Structure 1
Amino acid sequence: MRALGKLTAVEAKLFLRDPGAAIVVLGVPVALLVVFGLVPGARQPSEDFGGKVPLDTFIAPLSVAVLLAMLALTMFPTAMATYREKGVLRRLSASPVPPVRLLTAQLVVNLAAALVVVLLIVGFGAAVLSMALPANLGGFLLVAVLGTGALFSVGLLIAALVPTGRTAGGVGAAVFFPMLALGGVWVRKEDLPSFLQPVADVLPLGATLNGMRETWSGGSPELLQLAALVVVALVCGGLAARFFRWE
């Protein structure tokens, strides 16, 4: 445990020293919240959102879901593939510290970054923009945990299959952007064609976002959303464990 703690501390320092990480992890979600939150009418009930406040029922969940997806699908697999490319994992395999601890340390750092920014989004939104907190907190936490597991399992599968960090970034982006289009991010699920709306609840990012939207306004996540997140986590996690290579 002591070795894991030291390795996690080192990975955290490397994460914080990368200015791009701070811009992506902090800047993008907070910018989404602020820019869209200051749009006229965003903090007032709207008929387009079923009489609910857009900031609470769409913009805030969107900021959280996009943050999780960026960490899981781009930053995490890129870091792991870069370590493999540079031989870090191979050298660790010959040391007393098993490579799996590096994987664990990377997961801990990324999950900690996600937690900090989620708290920042919720705290900043509540204090500055008068944003309401999730009305169904238990349901929100359930969706957040399952969504994080599903998204990071996809990121782990990417890291397991690609040979280099640059390739991991490209593959992660190729997975991330279609989820934005089809998951209800660029266009709300309700505004998608009817045949695409179930797709938005099956894709990991869409299921996370739409489940958070439901719980933020006091409802419950749909069974399809929860089931999709569990299936993705199990399938992608299992495939990643099967094909992951340290060299």
Structure 2
Amino acid sequence: MSASTASTAVLRAELRLFLREPFSLFWIVGFPAVLLAILGLIPSFRTPQSDLGGGRVIDLYVPVTVLLAMIMAGIQVLPPVLSGYRERGILRRMSTTPVRPASLLAAQIALHFAAALVSTLLVVAVGRVAFDVALPGHPPGYLLALLLGALSALAMGAVVTAVAPSGKATTVLGSIVLFPMMFLAGVWIPVQSMPGPLRSVVEYLPFGAASQALARAADGAWPDWTHLGVTAAWAAVLIAAAVRWFRWE
């Protein structure tokens, strides 16, 4: 069996297993759209705000919930799966077959990223249809910011898996990391609405920068290179840490 054939077989098998986990799919695909729908029911969120230059709060939350899908996939859902495979010795046993453990890792990352992309389309559709939120005004910039944010989230999930000693510890650590990252992404307070000093700090952290880049692209402009650079730098650091610390057994 060639390496490419083996990798394809692993991807197909992991896809079947992935589709059998409705709760995981809900947190990635369904939860961000549901959250956006709930927020959109708040009357003040649909009313133009003078402090937002005549914009609406719900317009700010579409990029935020798009980024939330990436965070849920990378930090909440992916780490327990990888940790479970490692704890049960699946990765170690795979090392004796033509299928390398890296193929399984790559398949899981690809599947979680694909699910997050589906969530992105759903969130954008809900925002457009239900609340008349404009479609992203600069699609290439939006896609680039989305890819960098996804890389950061998935790499952070791999780091969580790497440093946690067991499956239970992975779940706990993932939950501990999740809520601060949601705050940085602007789930509770959009980054644009944060006080100046706080926003200045958040913009140099991975999801704060990604949130700002997505918001700017949504408004029709190319994302600020500083925000893209910060997100890319964090993604590179997290990927390097995951590669350095990840244990196959």
Return the TM-score normalized by structure 2.
Answer: 0.91
> 1:52 and 1:185 mapped to 2: Cα distance?
18
Task: Give the paired residue count.
Answer: 246
Q: Secondary structure of 1:214's match? A: helix
> 1:125 and 1:244 mapped to 2: Cα distance?
38
Residues 123-162 of structure 1 mapped to structure 2, 5 A cutoff: 123-162=125-164
Residues 7-26 of structure 1 mapped to structure 2, 5 A cutoff: 7-26=10-29
> 1:9 and 1:147 mapped to 2: Cα distance?
26
Give the CA deviation at 1:95. 1.5
The question of whether the paired residues in 2 share the 8 Å contact of 1:202 and 1:228 is answered with yes
2:84 aligned to which of 82, 85, 92: 82
The answer to whether structure 1 residue 235 and structure 2 residue 234 are counterparts is: no
The question of whether the paired residues in 2 share the 8 Å contact of 1:184 and 1:210 is answered with no
Gaps of 5+ in 1: none
Task: Give the match for residue 56 of structure 2.
Answer: 53
Give the CA deviation at 1:38. 2.7
Give the AA of the match of 2:212: N
> 1:80 and 1:175 mapped to 2: Cα distance?
17
The question of whether the paired residues in 1 share the 8 Å contact of 2:29 and 2:119 is answered with yes
Q: Secondary structure of 1:52's match? A: coil
Q: Do the aligned partners of residues 193 and 128 (structure 1) sit closer, same or farther apart at CA in structure 2, a change above 3 Å counting?
A: closer
Q: Secondary structure of 1:97's match? A: coil
Q: Do the aligned partners of residues 218 and 32 (structure 1) sit closer, same or farther apart at CA in structure 2, a change above 3 Å counting?
A: same
Q: Do the aligned partners of residues 141 and 238 (structure 1) sit closer, same or farther apart at CA in structure 2, a change above 3 Å counting?
A: same
Give the AA of the match of 1:133: L
Task: Give the match for residue 4 of structure 1.
Answer: 7
Give the CA deviation at 1:242. 1.5
Give CA-to-partner distance per residue, 1:66-95, whole Å, 9 cap, x none.
110011112112211111011110111111
> 1:144 and 1:184 mapped to 2: Cα distance?
15
Superposition RMSD in Å: 1.8
The question of whether the paired residues in 2 share the 8 Å contact of 1:74 and 1:168 is answered with no
Q: Secondary structure of 2:43's match? A: coil
Task: Give the match for residue 174 of structure 1.
Answer: 176
Task: Give the match for residue 98 of structure 1.
Answer: 100
Task: Give the match for residue 200 of structure 1.
Answer: 202
Residues 211-230 of structure 1 mapped to structure 2, 5 A cutoff: 211-230=213-232
> 2:230 and 2:189 mapped to 1: Cα distance?
20
Give the CA deviation at 1:31. 0.8
2:110 aligned to which of 108, 111, 114: 108
Give the AA of the match of 2:29: L
Give the CA deviation at 1:120. 1.6
The question of whether the paired residues in 2 share the 8 Å contact of 1:182 and 1:196 is answered with no
The question of whether the paired residues in 1 share the 8 Å contact of 2:49 and 2:55 is answered with yes
Give the CA deviation at 1:182. 4.0
> 2:15 and 2:51 mapped to 1: Cα distance?
42
> 1:207 and 1:168 mapped to 2: Cα distance?
26
Q: Do the aligned partners of residues 174 and 43 (structure 1) sit closer, same or farther apart at CA in structure 2, a change above 3 Å counting?
A: same
The question of whether the paired residues in 2 share the 8 Å contact of 1:185 and 1:206 is answered with no
Give the AA of the match of 1:35: I
> 1:124 and 1:236 mapped to 2: Cα distance?
32
